[in-house]
Amino acid sequence: MDKKRLNRRDFLRAASVTAAGAAMSACVAPTPPPAQIVEVTKEVPVTVEKEVQVQVTSVVTQEVEVTPTPLPAKQPVTIRFNEMGAPWQTWVESLAVPRFNEEYPWVKIEYEPIDWSTFPVKELTQMAAGTAPDVLHAWSQIFIAWASKNQLLNMNPLVESDFSAEAKADQIPFQWDTLVYPFTGERYAIPGYVDQQIVYYNKDAFDKAGIAYPTEKWTYDDYAEISKKLNEFDKSGTQTGWGGWTWYGAWTFNACRIQAFGGHVSDSETWMTCRLNEPEAKNMIEWIRKRIWDDKAWINDTQMAGVGVAGDSAQLFATGVFKMMEADIEFWQSCAKNIKFKWDVMHVPVGFPDRHSLGDNDAWCIYKGSVDRGPDQIEGAWKWVKFMNDVYFQKLIAFQSGNLPARKSMTLEWPNILRQTWPELEPVKLEVATEAFDMGYLTPSEQFRYQADAEPIVAAALEQIWQTGDAGVEILDQVCTDVNKSQQDAYNKEKA
């Protein structure tokens, strides 16, 4: 993350190259080293006339051109890359891939947009069948689900042999250090960008209700009280506005919020024992249930569908239906385009006893089955992953999509990049996202060892508690019983 101010126009002018390239031949030979001029020594007979003729040896130095033996030709490979669709696909294919191919012309990047209706189950199914893409985007619990099924390549040898000390030192610790499967020590991914959990709030709504804006010191009690005060009703008493909303189905948010309440998802040693039935975890889940069903201050997803609004986080917030939104930081471009009222962002509230929030490890992994596709396939996949973590691609991420880069050296420049690119964001305190690094409350969310087996059980229970209102937190006792069984069954199957 280069602290020097980067002029976006100059950067994009330098970065813009055509996406078209000549078709590869059956094999592409790397450019051989240049011919070298070396000195060679040879013996030449010389006759010298004195009183007698004597034959002596004279040393003559002569320059001879030596052409090195060409390196073995690289076989062309096609690396299937599973990543977000447009606008990511547009700039990756038009800007990043041509730059990458300047150095690695034998590697073709074939972009496969993620199908969010099937992700990540489809990818895991492809892995089991041997047909998965070579390089895939994921985060937190998805990586754990894939790694627990032994489907991800161990990148430790590649990092040791082909990742500089400077590059390692420029990684953000809560990302770099946690992209390792704790039960084997295998590195399963390389950081892509930073995501985190913050609170967006409608300043116009706060002003209308006569409520002071939230500050760095606000608590969950403040959060609850403000949410109620922001409710709106029409003359007939029908509720037309709600104080808050969040991504209820986001495992990462919920797990980190449980930690903010002093609780845990699983035990720290085996990750196989469910702790959602403990008081601290129940208190967090009950806190949200009260906001939805008792205070009617948070709108849930079922009610949202009834109101008739849909879209990404920014599009939902822009409707004004709810006044505060607890969400991630991936939608700045959409915020600039869609939100017309005055708004700002703030850190999540102080918890019990400390503030705790998601610092996610959005990253790229390599499918382990790519090994069977040949050594050039693995090399091509690794070169692409390494290229995306490097500064050039990281700057593209910031300028083109607004995401917070995974390089420490770029974090301070990131707010200015966003304001240059989307002037509508000028009044927004974007520094909240970067302040969180120094405040030290960002961490990845807790998981289960066999996350793919546990998550559906927990999600079904939270659906009953928050969305339909058919149950209370007491069902978490049975949830833990079921989760513990799922973990033991998966462990037994793995060891069989």
pLDDT for the residue numbered 449: 96
pLDDT for the residue numbered 309: 86
Beta strands in 313-463 (DSSP E): 322-327, 343-346, 357-366, 404-405, 442-443
Residue 88 makes CB contacts below 8 A (sequence gap 6+) with 400, 401
Q: What is the pTM of this model?
A: 0.83
pLDDT of residue 135 exceeding 50, the answer is yes
Better pLDDT: 16 or 482: 482
pLDDT above 90 coverage of the chain, percent: 81
pLDDT for the residue numbered 361: 86
pLDDT of residue 170 exceeding 60, the answer is yes
Q: What's phi and psi for 242, nearest 5 deg? A: -125, 155
pLDDT by residue (tens digit) across 449-475?
A: 999 999 999 999 999 999 999 999 999
Query: What CATH number was assigned to the domain covering residues 77-191+362-386?
Result: 3.40.190.10
21 sits in the region (left: phi over 0; alpha: psi -120 to 50; else beta) called beta
Q: Give CA–CA dist 367/329, Å, rounded.
A: 27
pLDDT for the residue numbered 463: 97
- Among 298, 311, 306, smallest CA distance to 339 is for 311
Q: Which structure tokens are listed for 223?
A: 């959060």
Residue ranges of domains in the chain: 37-66, 77-191+362-386, 198-359+428-495
pLDDT by residue (tens digit) across 343-400?
A: 999 999 999 989 999 998 899 999 999 999 999 999 999 999 999 999 999 999 999 9
pLDDT for the residue numbered 81: 98
- Among 241, 248, 141, 148, smallest CA distance to 493 is for 148
Q: Among 15-24, 149-158, 228-237, whose mean pLDDT is lowest?
A: 15-24
pLDDT for the residue numbered 57: 44
Q: Give CA–CA dist 370/363, Å, rounded.
A: 18
Task: Give the pLDDT mean for 254-273.
Answer: 97
pLDDT for the residue numbered 228: 98
- Strands 357-366 and 343-346 turn out to be unpaired
Three-state SS for 496? coil
> Which pLDDT band, with edges at 50, 70 and 90, does 70 fall under?
low
Q: Is CATH 3.40.190.10 the classification given to domain 198-359+428-495?
A: yes
pLDDT by residue (tens digit) across 308-329?
A: 888 899 999 999 999 999 999 9
pLDDT for the residue numbered 67: 56
Q: Give the strand order in the sheet containing 232-233.
A: 232-233, 239-246, 322-327, 198-202, 343-346
356 neighbors 221 (Cβ within 8 angstroms):
no
> Do 77-191+362-386 and 198-359+428-495 fold alike per CATH?
yes
Better pLDDT: 106 or 53: 106
pLDDT for the residue numbered 66: 52
pLDDT for the residue numbered 389: 98
Better pLDDT: 481 or 8: 481
Task: Give the pLDDT mean for 400-425.
Answer: 96
pLDDT for the residue numbered 92: 98
pLDDT of residue 404 exceeding 70, the answer is yes
Q: Give CA–CA dist 408/404, Å, rounded.
A: 10
pLDDT above 70 coverage of the chain, percent: 85
pLDDT by residue (tens digit) across 71-116?
A: 567 889 999 999 999 999 999 999 999 999 999 999 999 999 999 9
Is residue 222 packed enough to be buried (19+ CB in 10 Å), middle (13-18) or exposed (0-12)? middle
> Which pLDDT band, with edges at 50, 70 and 90, does 305 fall under?
very high
pLDDT for the residue numbered 30: 44
pLDDT of residue 21 exceeding 90, the answer is no
pLDDT for the residue numbered 72: 64
CA angle 246, 339, 440 (to 5 degrees): 50
